[in-house]
Chain A
Amino acid sequence: MKKEFYLDYIKPFVVLVVICLAVALLLGAANAVTAPIIEQNALEKANATRNAVLSGAAGFREVSCDTARLGITGAWAETGGKGYVITAAFKGYSGGLVTVTVGMDPDGRILGVSADVSNQTQGIGSKAGQSAYLDKFLGLSGTGAASSVDTITGATWSSTAVKNGINAALAAFPAVKEAAA
């Protein structure tokens, strides 16, 4: 009776718990190794994109202001006073977020745009991330100015997400500038 009880209840329980513990330890260790690298990667990537949209930037200082409701995910001021970088994320095709990074001069004119469309359809939605499209937004300024650029036929979702992102950045610009000052 005792032995059966052990085989039926105790042993399965103990084995499962031991396996779970071993797994948790292993993954905890792996996480300790990879987490800093993942964080570093994200930092480097964000930095590289910011440099690409605001060329010649010396460095960036994060600006905190309450613009999350516009879809803004981050705002930075260039330390040399060259301008600002604002990122916004909007839903594109099939639910993937399109993150748009906009570089602006101190007057709010768009100097550079970059869009991460890696989760959009290759060859279709990805067109919304190419410079042929993004360059159309250069020089625009003022709330809602991006609406004047047409969406890409066949890639409406992705290009609308890009436009929405740029419009959000333009709309948030006054608040960001004020917060940075």
Chain B
Amino acid sequence: MKRKLDILKNGLFKENPVLILVLGCCSVLAVSVTVLGGLGMGIALTFVLVCSNVVISLLRKVIPDKVRIPCYIVIIAAFVTLVEMIVKAFLPALYESLGVFLSLIVVNCIVLGRAEMFASKNTVGDSFFDGLGMGLGYTMVITGISIVRELLGSGTLFGLRIIPEGFQIGIITQPPGGFFTFGCAMAILVAAMAKKGKKFVPPVGCGGDCAGCGAACQEKEAVK
């Protein structure tokens, strides 16, 4: 049980997919304009991640190495489409606010990265907790960033007005505000780590190769 808890915590903090591994930042920047949107996106991604991790782990002995990436993509895309349908049917407002980014979970580096790096090599139980940890880690960061952006940019939280009209900083809800808030969040993390005596240098993207990125992370792990 302790191992499962460690895996969960790993995703939440030590290897937080967004702030530490810097994966899947497109959706973090784009849908963090409102807290509800951010939270919804986080939950959708967590669902896809947990399901795809479990199924891929179940099938890890069946899927031949040669076609593993197409197989993973099909499995992930299936769960994404499922989530799309459910959200569209039961939460139409959320569907509108997430737009194309809901479909884009398919190519979210976190999901494919975890499939390649973790689920394809570990037991179903471990993969479940890995998916849950990583998903919650993502949700935590995107919700945090969207709280800051909605509060400062629109003066509201969950649509309720907190800061009186006229005092909000509109640009924070605009695209530049997304980059800016994310950059600041990362700087705060670096500063906090430095205070604890740990040096943390955020990786500068992976060149877009998600599967390869997972492998690269693993190599780093092995060196450690």
Interface residue ranges, A against B (CB under 8 Å): 7-8, 11-13, 15-16, 19-20, 23, 26-27, 30-31, 34, 37-38, 41, 45, 118-119, 121-124, 154
| In the bound complex, CA of A154 to CA of B86 (Å) | 36
User: Which of B74, B81, B99, B173 is within 8 Å of A122, CB to CB?
Assistant: B173
Apart from A15-B67, A27-B78: 8 A-B pairs, beta carbons within 8 A = A20-B74, A23-B77, A30-B85, A34-B89, A122-B33, A122-B150, A123-B154, A154-B170
| In the bound complex, CA of A94 to CA of B196 (Å) | 42
Check if B155 is an interface residue, CB within 8 A of chain A: yes
Please count how many residues in chain B sit with their CB below 8 Å of the partner chain's CB atoms: 34
In the complex with contacts A7-B64, A8-B66, A27-B81, A124-B173 CB distance below 8 A: yes
Contacts of A15 in B (CB 8 A): 62-64, 67, 71
Contact B89 A38 (CB under 8 A): yes
Check if B153 is an interface residue, CB within 8 A of chain A: yes
Contacts of B173 in A (CB 8 A): 121-124
Contact B67 A16 (CB under 8 A): yes
Q: Which of B4-12, B90-98, B101-109 contacts A (4 or more CB under 8 A)?
A: B90-98
- Closest chain A residue to B168, Cβ basis: A123
In the complex with contacts A19-B75, A123-B168, A118-B96 CB distance below 8 A: yes
- Closest chain A residue to B65, Cβ basis: A12
Distance in Å: Cβ of A95 to nearest Cβ of chain B: 10
- Closest chain B residue to A96, Cβ basis: B99
| In the bound complex, CA of A13 to CA of B70 (Å) | 11
Distance in Å: Cβ of A29 to nearest Cβ of chain B: 10
Contact B33 A11 (CB under 8 A): no
Check if B88 is an interface residue, CB within 8 A of chain A: yes
Check if B34 is an interface residue, CB within 8 A of chain A: yes
Check if B218 is an interface residue, CB within 8 A of chain A: no
Contact A26 B82 (CB under 8 A): yes
| In the bound complex, CA of A26 to CA of B81 (Å) | 10
Contact B174 A23 (CB under 8 A): no
Distance in Å: Cβ of A84 to nearest Cβ of chain B: 26
Contacts of B92 in A (CB 8 A): 38, 41, 45
Distance in Å: Cβ of B27 to nearest Cβ of chain A: 16
In the complex with contacts A19-B74, A23-B78, A122-B33, A37-B90 CB distance below 8 A: yes
Contacts of B64 in A (CB 8 A): 7, 11-12, 15
